[in-house]
Amino acid sequence: MKGAKEFADIFGTGQHGRLFLVSGSHARGRTFHIYVLPTEEKITCMPWCHKDAVEVYGITGGQPGWTETYGWLHNGAWQADFAMLADRRKSEIAIVKAGKEHDAANQREAERQRQADLLATYP
* pLDDT tens readout for residues 34-72: 999 999 999 988 998 888 999 999 999 988 888 899 999
Distance between first and last Cα of the chain: 61
Q: Three-state SS for 95?
A: helix
* 76 Cβ contact list (under 8 Å, min separation 6): 36, 56
- C-alpha distances in angstroms, 84 versus 10, 19, 91, 105? 13, 12, 11, 31
pLDDT at 67: 86
Q: What is the mean pLDDT of the chain?
A: 92
**Percent of the chain surpassing pLDDT 90:** 76
pLDDT at 1: 58
Asked if 46 and 26 count as a contact pair (C-beta separation under 8 A), the reply is no
pLDDT at 23: 94
Please give the helix or strand (H or E) that residue 103 lies within, else none.
helix 77-120
Instruction: Return d(Cα 21, Cα 12) in angstroms, integer.
Output: 7
Tell me the pTM. Answer: 0.80
Asked whether residue 27 carries a pLDDT value surpassing 90, the answer given is no
Instruction: Return d(Cα 75, Cα 98) in angstroms, integer.
Output: 34
Asked whether residue 20 carries a pLDDT value surpassing 90, the answer given is yes
- Over residues 77-90, the mean pLDDT reads 95
- Over residues 91-95, the mean pLDDT reads 93
